Each structure stands twice: as C-alpha cells, then as structure tokens.
Amino acid sequence: MTSFKHIDTKVIHSGEPSPRHDNAVVTPIYQSAMFVTAGEDDYHDLKYIRLNNTPNHDVLHARLAALENAEAGLVTASGMAAISTALITVLKSGDHLLIQDCVYGGTNDLLTDNFKEFGFEFDFIDESDPASWESKLKSNTKAIYVEAIANPMMSVPALKDVTDFAKSHQLVSMIDNTFTSPYNFRPAEWGFDLSIHSATKYLNGHSDIVAGAVIGRKDLVENVRRTLNHLGGTLDPHACFLLERGIKTLSLRIERQNASALTMARFLDEHGKINGVNYPGLVSSPDHERAKTYFDGFGGMLSFYVRGSADTAQQFMEHTRIPLMAPSLGGTET
C-alpha cells in the first residue's frame, strides 16, 4: 500500500486498495452482511460486517491510521462505542483508571453509572497539574485518560506530561481527540497509545452520521477490534461510505474552521457585551502556549460569557440566525 506524506493527500488516498476493486475510483458500498469463506481458521478473520473487516472498514482503518501517523485504526458505530469498547478492552475487573475531571458528558455518565457494575475504579485528576497525579496512583492503576480540548472551557491538558507519566508508571495512555481532529493534533506523535474520536463530529463533518474511531498502537487496536466484534458496535457499510467521503474534505474544512473560529474569538473578545472568551488560539488564553506546542490549529469550538444573566445568554442563543441549537459540533452548518 502506497504511503503519502502530506495530510491533504492522505485524506483522499490513504488506504485505497491496490489493485482497486473493479477499478472503482471511489470505494463502493459493500452492502453484503457476509462474504463467502476462504479457509479462514480464526473466527475474527471471517468476513462479516460485525467483525469489522469488510472492504469499507479496511479502507477507513488504514486511512485513519495514516492521518494520525499511527500504527492502526478502527471505526465503530459511535464515539461512545469507541470510548466504551476501548475502556472495556484496556481495563479488567478490579483495575483503576485516572481520568481528567470534566470529560464529555457521555463518558462521565459511563463512569458514574456503569463503571462500578463492571468492577472498574476511577479517580478524577486535574489535567493541567501533573504534580498532583502521583498521589492519585494506586497499585491497580492501569490507564490514564484525557481529552485534547475539553468542553466547555476549551482547556488543554499537559499532554506530553500525560504520556511521560504513563510511560514511567506502565499505564496505557488514552486521549479523546475529537475536538482537535487529526488535522490539528496527532496523539501518536506524542506517545499516546490510543486516540479516540467521535467521528460524528469533525471527521465526518456533515452532521449526517454517528460514528467513532480508535487509532493507535497495533496490538491495542487489534484487541479493541476483537472486543468490538463481541460487543457488536460495528459501523455499517453505508455509514462507512459517508465517513470516507466526509474525511476527504477534512483538511479544507479544518483549515477554514480554525481561521473562522480565531476571527470570531478575537471579535467576541473585544465586544462590549461579552465578558470573556474561552479559545486556546487567543494569546490571552491561559492554555495558549501549551496549545501552540501541541496543535497545528486551535479548532472550530469556542465558548464565551454574555454580559448579563442566564436569561440574557438564553435570549442570545434563541436569536442567532445561522447557528442552530442542536447537540453536536464540527459540521458545516455554523
């Protein structure tokens, strides 16, 4: 398989089969639940949609790995399928997880509602204060988990400290890279073992599918795939096709979203009716230096304080003409 240097080329061509299937320029949708057996002796090698190994999966797996300069990639039925399956693979009953305080709501709910039943323990850590992590370590700590940019404060953890800490204590380092996308940050280059995405957001970018991804070390991604094969959170071929198509414009979209968000953050920061803006691209942001070290761009997400009461903020939201109030991000609408 050809490897490409630049991400603008990778988003289009990485992972394309050689030779092409029936010379098709675009990967066709293989709408076949199962494929005729060809002497496979491992269950996980049988060609079957749930086993995440159809031609539509294969292209995406290789493309995602290439985008983050990582060893392997895997797509899942949603971001939460990626997060839950990765955690269930890395942790065994009785293991302990260190996780950044204030994570994505769904992840937080998985910890607080389900972790105990699974026999997992966890403690929250202050992601910006590496000196405080050691005191939270336990003899059964197995992994450390952060988010590249945390919603809604847009804070950036001490990312290199996370992988250094993981290495010195033999922990698996995991990061939710949804908010940066592979265009702005590639966790494998900084030593992360597993990078996780809600591909519903920037990777697909068109608000028309729910999907997830796990990218990283080959041995770990293969273990996650085997767990996913059992749990069943597979991405269907049509959604694979849409995700592959969405990824083709990733660099164009992110470049523009980086630029638009920075322009908007600067505008709001100087506006008399705004009391402050959270955006790591602003020089005044407490995380700006850190973000500049790790990221090639600061993303399309920002938050700000409207001067007045909660009602004023609510009124503001109800009066925006272009942004829609809906629970997602990274699409083309705003």
Ligand X SMILES: *Cc1c(COP(=O)(O)O)cnc(C)c1O
76 binds ligand X (CB under 6 A): no
102 binds ligand X (CB under 6 A): no
Sheet holding 141-147, edge to edge: 72-76, 212-216, 194-198, 172-176, 141-147, 96-100, 121-125
212 binds ligand X (CB under 6 A): yes
Task: Report the nearest approach of ligand X to the CB of residue 150 (Å).
Answer: 8
274-278 vs 303-306, strand pairing mode: antiparallel
- HEC string for 239-261: HHHHHHHHHCCHHHHHHHHHHHH
Task: Report the nearest approach of ligand X to the CB of residue 107 (Å).
Answer: 6
Task: Report the nearest approach of ligand X to the CB of residue 142 (Å).
Answer: 21
Binding segment (CB under 6 A) for ligand X, from list 50-58, 60-68, 75-83, 262-270: 75-83
Task: Report the nearest approach of ligand X to the CB of residue 104 (Å).
Answer: 4
- HEC string for 272-318: CCEEEEECCCCCCCCCHHHHHHHCCCCCCCCEEEECCCHHHHHHHHH
- How many residues belong to the site for ligand X (CB under 6 A)? 14
What single-letter DSSP state applies at residue 155?
A: B
210 binds ligand X (CB under 6 A): yes
Task: Report the nearest approach of ligand X to the CB of residue 35 (Å).
Answer: 27
80 binds ligand X (CB under 6 A): yes
φ, ψ at 187 (rounded to 5°) = -55, -35
127: tokens are 């992601």
Tell me the residue number closest to ligand X, measured at CB.
79
Q: What is the footprint of ligand X within residues 164-203 (CB under 6 A)?
A: 176, 178-179, 198, 200-201
Angle (CA) 178-184-185 rounded to 5° is 70
Q: Contact positions toward ligand X, by CB under 6 A?
A: 78-80, 104, 106, 147, 176, 178-179, 198, 200-201, 210, 212
